[in-house]
Amino acid sequence: MSLASVMAPVPVPTPSPGRVAPPVPRADPSPALREEPRVAKMVVEDLSAWYGRRKVLHGVSLPFVKDAVTAIIGPSGCGKSTLIRCLNRMHEIQPGAAQSGRVLLDGRDIHGGHLDPIELRRRVGMVFQKPNPFPTMSVRDNVLAGWRLTGTRPKDPDAVVEDALRRAALWVEVKDRLKAPGGSLSGGQAQRLCIARALAVAPEVLLMDEPCSALDPIATARIEELIHELAPTVTIVIVTHNMQQAARVSAYTAFLYMGELVEFAETAGLFTRPADPRTEDYITGRFG
Amino acid sequence: MDAWLYPPPPQRTVSPRLRWRRLADRLFRGAVVASVVVVLAPLAAVLATVIAKGAPALDLAFLTHLPKPVGETGGGVGHAILGTLFLALGGLGIAVPVGVPAGVFLASDRMPRLAGVVRMCADVLAGVPSIVVGLFAYTLLVMPFRQFSALSGAFALAVIMLPTIVRTTEEVVRLVPPTLTEAALALGAPRWRAMLGVVLPSAGKGVAAGIIAAFSRGAGETAPLMFTAFGSQFLSWNLLQPIAALPLVLFNYAVSPYEDWHAQAWAAALVLVVLVLVANLVARYATARRSA
Amino acid sequence: MGRRSSSSPSDAAFHATLVLAGLGVATVLAGVAWEVLDLAGPAMQKGGLSFLTGTTWDPVAGEFGALPALYGTLLTSAIALLVAVPLGIGSAVFLSEIASSRVAAVAGVLVDLLAAIPSVIYGLWGLFVLAPLLRQHVQPAVQSVLGDVPLFAGPPLGVGYGTAGLLLAIMVIPVVTSVSREVLKAVPDTQREAACALGATPFEVIRGTVFPYARSGLVGAVVLGLGRALGETMAVTMVIGNRYEISASLFAPGYTLAAVIANEFAEAFSPEYLSALGGLAVVLLGSTLVLNAAARLLVRGVRHGGG
């Protein structure tokens, strides 16, 4: 799989020394692409997070480039999941959870009061580690759950269902059993149903928290393919403990270690020329 | 030039829809909190009334003396307090030897089908109305002897207590890590010795808590005693004679037309509440410590 | 398996003791059913269906019709459920979904204490506190507005169906709450997270995913509460008013199955009379057995994975 296809829609920025610097990936600037500047869909600035007294993130700063895939890797317990849960304010709903720093969506602080968290979560969708379709709803209702739960309905529900299921590469498999209960699908199908459910409300960002860790290799390959297909239209942030997966699906990779951002770079660069010795240790399998 | 160009932020529109959803959420939470308050209000009201009305009539004489005939003031419920303890402990004496082994059986996971039936029976037995249990004890132990008796009362309470003991024992024995049993078995101990010497002692606190909870449940029961223990004006330790019980005295005094009996009913209620709630809290404390 | 075959005789004896105890529990339940049926046999044979539909209860004339008591039991239980279900499930939602763990622990203990207070003490309180309160303040107020409605007709006595129903509600609530709370706890957090991440408010999360997932268990909790309400004796006996009639008014005095047994059993002077009371007990036992068995199955269903 060529990384170029992933990289294509993402022009390269000029680093700015003045800002509270989100580390900027290095790449060779090509004059042709400079006209279309790269855009950060989301940015975290100096983000720290706690569970009770335990500090799990230490001042992380990081951009998430619009309509590209960013992978977050690191050994378990490094704060990967906490980081993405801060992006849609799911972190704070847990008892004892706290955070400091800023998270920007389209340049505006998501805690800024202009955006209700329930609106935010509609714009920033999420897929979880374990497939969690709603067992009491049909496949169709699962796709529409984002609408149903919030008491709204799309203009053309059938079109929304078909579109979301097609984008989640599940349509062909389930189009004849949309009425079947959501719990009747296999693990890989259930996870794609969860992706379809997240896509059905047209999110701008899709967070994926180790979406393949509970799946077999074939289902995993299916989901990775799907991520490629989605990337041009949705900003994707994927947490994974699997470095090969990060290398396969992402344009950018952030390496988190013990709650700190060790390195953030274009994926190709990070895996071939890691700047930090800890990154090198990790990707060469010396720990983790 | 700023490296991170942001698209213009979308116009903030607080839709009425969102406002309504937030309001519905707040109303729901409010309703839920209110329901807890409404639910707990009777607890406060009942306890407050029992203390306020019971305390003035409560003194040492009330706790130790026998009742006086109607018209005479004074008198106590000493016989009924002892009677209730006698009946409840007697009930435990019958229920524990059946309930604890039955609970161990359910936890042992041998013969799962029979265990399922027994578990269901225990659950259903817990739901049998206490008045029906009294009737059962009557037909079994009163009719043949043509005599109300402490024995039949204790038996009725035992039936009431049995499900609590069975299910608590099962629960706490299940919490004992299987490695403990395996360790004992590996040392060559027979299964029964592993159970009696290792499993039951480590679950002992929990089993005791279940027994105390059953005591608390049984001590407050009235209906099953109405035509078994029946009640008595005297202190009697004869198993085959009627015996007084605090809830019975309370009931009879409450539905009587005499004012001073009403006052005594409240005092009896205070004694009963203290007895039952203290036992309940002790049981709860023991379980809380175990799981902590 | 191998272990069992190699077990010693002492092991076999020990296991046999345990099985015997287990069978003992089953025997007790069977014994209850058998004895009560045996007692009621003559009355049921003689009366047949008219035992259930008759409205006269005259022990002296030997006429036994259970309908007024059955009606009273059903009406008071219905009132109790009407009050207890929303409050009980609401409290369970508070304890499992809204409250912090510390608040939930304290409030949970208090709700359980509500269940620990003996029935006769609720009866005492109902008779001397709740009934006078309803008689003096609530019933006249209701009648001044809705006096023409048959549901609220008759002199305000304080005791009657409505008072018994309210008192029953207080006693049923802890059952509904503690079972519902257990059932709600069995709903996996991943379900809540999924809904929350779709932009649902906490209310929408609970209504849209938690309740549907727990539905059968919540029904089980209500059924269990109904079983408790039907069989509850002492408190009802003290505030129902003990009048063997069928009245449409909630303020009217009436009777229930359990209350009739409690009041009359010790004084039943003839075998027919005893047998008729046994008949009431059969109705009571039959309905509570079915309800409890059904409720347990429903609640277990949720614990073993949704539906």
Residues A110-162: tens digit of each pLDDT: 987 788 888 899 999 999 999 999 999 999 999 999 999 988 888 999 999 99
Within a domain: B218: yes
Has residue C21 got a pLDDT over 60? yes
Distance (Å) from the alpha carbon of B27 to chain A's nearest alpha carbon: 16
Say if residue C189 is exposed, middle or buried (CB neighbours under 10 Å; 0-12, 13-18, 19+). Answer: exposed
Cα nearest neighbour of B155 on chain C: C28
Has residue B206 got a pLDDT over 80? yes
Same domain, B22 and B78: no
**Residue that wins the pLDDT comparison between B208 and B16:** B208
Q: Output the pLDDT for position A35.
A: 42
Look up the CATH number of the domain holding residue B230. Answer: 1.10.3720.10
- Residues in chain B with CB shorter than 8 Å from the CB of C39 are 135, 139
User: Contact C307/A128, CB-based, under 8 Å?
Assistant: no
- The pair of structure tokens assigned to C128 is 């001397």
Residues with Cβ < 8 Å from B287, sequence gap 6 or more?
Answer: B172, B205, B206, B209
**Cα A57 from Cα C134, distance rounded (Å):** 59
Q: Output the pLDDT for position A287.
A: 63
**Residue that wins the pLDDT comparison between C244 and C305:** C244
Same domain, B37 and B117: no
Same domain, B20 and B129: no
Reported confidence tier of residue A11, pLDDT bands at 50, 70, 90: very low
Within a domain: B143: yes
Residues C60-118: tens digit of each pLDDT: 888 888 999 999 999 999 999 999 999 999 999 999 999 988 999 999 999 999 999 99
Question: DSSP secondary structure string, B63-123?
Answer: HHSPBPPTTS--B--HHHHHHHHHHHHHHHHHHHHHHHHHHHHHHHTSSHHHHHHHHHHHH
Yes or no: say if B104 and B195 are a contact pair by the CB < 8 Å rule: yes
User: Contact B39/C111, CB-based, under 8 Å?
Assistant: yes
Residues with Cβ < 8 Å from C112, sequence gap 6 or more?
Answer: B280, B284, C174, C178
Mean pLDDT, all residues of chain A: 84
Mean pLDDT, all residues of chain B: 87
User: Contact C200/A130, CB-based, under 8 Å?
Assistant: no
Does residue A63 sit at the B interface (CB-CB below 8 Å)? yes
Which one of A19, A40, A150 has the shortest CB-CB distance to B21? A150
User: Contact B3/A43, CB-based, under 8 Å?
Assistant: no
Q: Is A56 helix (H, G, I), strand (E, B) or coil?
A: strand
Which one of B3, B6, B21 has the shortest CB-CB distance to A107? B6
Closest CA to A134 of C211, C217, C184: C211
Which one of C98, C117, C238 has the shortest CB-CB distance to B29? C98
Within a domain: B4: no
The residue to which tokens 């389930």 are assigned: A174
Under DSSP, the state recorded for A15 is: P
Distance (Å) from the alpha carbon of C252 to chain B's nearest alpha carbon: 19
User: Contact C22/B118, CB-based, under 8 Å?
Assistant: yes
**Cα C90 from Cα B17, distance rounded (Å):** 25
Q: Output the pLDDT for position A13.
A: 41
- Residues in chain A with CB shorter than 8 Å from the CB of C208 are 145, 148-149
**Pairing mode, if any, of strands A205-209 and A54-65?**
unpaired
Within a domain: B10: no
Reported confidence tier of residue A284, pLDDT bands at 50, 70, 90: confident
User: Contact A37/B3, CB-based, under 8 Å?
Assistant: yes
Within a domain: B271: yes
The pair phi, psi for residue C20, each rounded to 5°, is: -60, -45
User: Contact A151/C188, CB-based, under 8 Å?
Assistant: no
Same domain, B87 and B23: no
Q: Output the pLDDT for position A33.
A: 43
Domain residue ranges of chain C, discontinuous segments joined by +: 39-303
- Residues in chain C with CB shorter than 8 Å from the CB of A135 are 213, 306-307
Has residue A183 got a pLDDT over 90? no
Distance (Å) from the alpha carbon of B5 to chain C's nearest alpha carbon: 27
User: Contact B276/C291, CB-based, under 8 Å?
Assistant: no
Which one of A128, A150, A198 has the shortest CB-CB distance to C190? A128
Has residue A9 got a pLDDT over 50? no
Reported confidence tier of residue A214, pLDDT bands at 50, 70, 90: confident
Per-position b or e across A105-120, b if 16+ CB within 10 A of its CB: bbbbebbeeebbbbbb
Cα nearest neighbour of B215 on chain C: C116
User: Contact B18/A116, CB-based, under 8 Å?
Assistant: yes
Does residue C19 sit at the B interface (CB-CB below 8 Å)? yes
- The pair of structure tokens assigned to A240 is 């994974």
Give the rounded percent of residues in chain B with a pLDDT score beyond 70. 92
Same domain, B23 and B89: no
Does residue B11 sit at the A interface (CB-CB below 8 Å)? no
Q: Is the pTM of this model over 0.80?
A: yes
Domain that holds residue B36: 16-57
The total of structural domains in chain B comes to: 2
The residue to which tokens 């935010």 are assigned: A120
Chains in contact with C, counting 3 or more C-beta pairs less than 8 Å apart as contact: A, B
Residues A46-82: tens digit of each pLDDT: 999 999 889 999 999 999 999 999 999 998 888 899 9
Calculate helix-pair angle for C211-231, C161-185, nearest 10 degrees.
140
Half-sphere exposure of A93 (CA within 13 A, CB side): 22
Within a domain: B7: no
Does residue A115 sit at the B interface (CB-CB below 8 Å)? yes
The pair phi, psi for residue C189, each rounded to 5°, is: -65, -25
Has residue C120 got a pLDDT over 60? yes
- Residues in chain B with CB shorter than 8 Å from the CB of A150 are 21
Positive or negative torsion for Cα A30, A33, A35, A37: negative
CB pairs under 8 A between A and C: 77
Which one of B2, B3, B12 has the shortest CB-CB distance to A24? B3
Cα nearest neighbour of A89 on chain C: C197
Closest CA to C172 of C285, C259, C91, C281: C91
Give the rounded percent of residues in chain C with a pLDDT score beyond 90. 64
Summarize the confidence of residues C169-191 as an average pLDDT. 94
- Residues in chain A with CB shorter than 8 Å from the CB of C196 are 90, 93, 121
Distance (Å) from the alpha carbon of A118 to chain C's nearest alpha carbon: 4
Chains in contact with A, counting 3 or more C-beta pairs less than 8 Å apart as contact: B, C
Q: Return the CA Rg of chain C.
A: 23
Has residue C304 got a pLDDT over 70? no
User: Contact B105/C113, CB-based, under 8 Å?
Assistant: no
- Residues in chain A with CB shorter than 8 Å from the CB of C205 are 149
Q: Nearest 10 degrees: CA dihedral of C291, C293, C295, C301? A: -160
Yes or no: say if B157 and B221 are a contact pair by the CB < 8 Å rule: yes
Has residue B6 got a pLDDT over 80? no
User: Contact C114/B42, CB-based, under 8 Å?
Assistant: yes
Q: Output the pLDDT for position C196.
A: 93
**Cα A147 from Cα A202, distance rounded (Å):** 11
- The pair of structure tokens assigned to B179 is 């490695």
- The pair of structure tokens assigned to C92 is 């369970």
Q: Output the pLDDT for position B4.
A: 44
Chains in contact with B, counting 3 or more C-beta pairs less than 8 Å apart as contact: A, C
- Residues in chain A with CB shorter than 8 Å from the CB of C191 are 132, 134
Within a domain: B239: yes
**Cα B189 from Cα B196, distance rounded (Å):** 11
Q: Output the pLDDT for position B256.
A: 87
Q: Output the pLDDT for position B189.
A: 81
Residues B101-154: tens digit of each pLDDT: 999 999 888 888 999 999 999 999 999 999 999 999 999 999 888 888 999 999
Closest CA to A3 of A25, A32, A31: A25
Write the CATH number of the domain with boundaries C39-303: 1.10.3720.10
Cα nearest neighbour of A16 on chain B: B3
Within a domain: B173: yes
How far from each other are the two terminal CA atoms of chain B, in whole angstroms? Answer: 59
Q: Output the pLDDT for position A93.
A: 87
